[in-house]
Copies of this chain bind each other. A is one copy, B any other.
């Protein structure tokens, strides 16, 4: 994998540069879907085999605390997933059978949120929308869930 140097970008966010942080950031940047800590660990390991899982957790948490990365989790699965915060607004469509995720970039929400803010007096800062169903392949295969 091409190792871009993100020193400046990390520094700007108040993150001290280290090689492993740089690698982790590059991994996240080239992913177009969220990954688990374990998956990040495997990927980073391909570039620096000395990395430990706890360091991955520490790096991911740091990135999250600096707003660089988004942490969430999919329904009924006790693992966190992480993705680069691209400041784009997007959602996911997740197959309940094979768990494949597909990106949905349309979001039909702004209007609804405004109404809701007025109604509830909440100050809404984010929302998360996931749709679940059967992906085309799993529909073909048929059978039970």
Chain A residues with a Cβ under 8 A of chain B: 71-73, 75-76, 78, 80, 93, 95-96, 102, 104, 106, 108-109, 111-113, 116-117, 120-136, 139
Residues of chain B lying within 8 A (CB to CB) of residue A72? 75-76
Residues of chain B lying within 8 A (CB to CB) of residue A113? 131
Tell me how far the C-beta of A63 lies from the nearest C-beta in chain B, rounded to whole angstroms.
13
- Identical chains bound together, number: 2
B71 contacts A73, C-beta separation under 8 Å: no
B126 contacts A133, C-beta separation under 8 Å: yes
Tell me how far the C-beta of A67 lies from the nearest C-beta in chain B, rounded to whole angstroms.
12
- Which residue in B75, B95, B106 is a CB contact (below 8 Å) of A122? B95
- Which residue in B112, B117, B132 is a CB contact (below 8 Å) of A126? B132
Given the known A-B contacts A72-B75, A93-B116, are A124 and B128 also in contact in the complex, defined by CB atoms under 8 Å?
no
Among A76, A93, A131, A136, residue most surrounded by chain B Cβ atoms (within 10 Å): A131
Tell me how far the C-beta of A145 lies from the nearest C-beta in chain B, rounded to whole angstroms.
10
Residues of chain B lying within 8 A (CB to CB) of residue A133? 117, 122-126
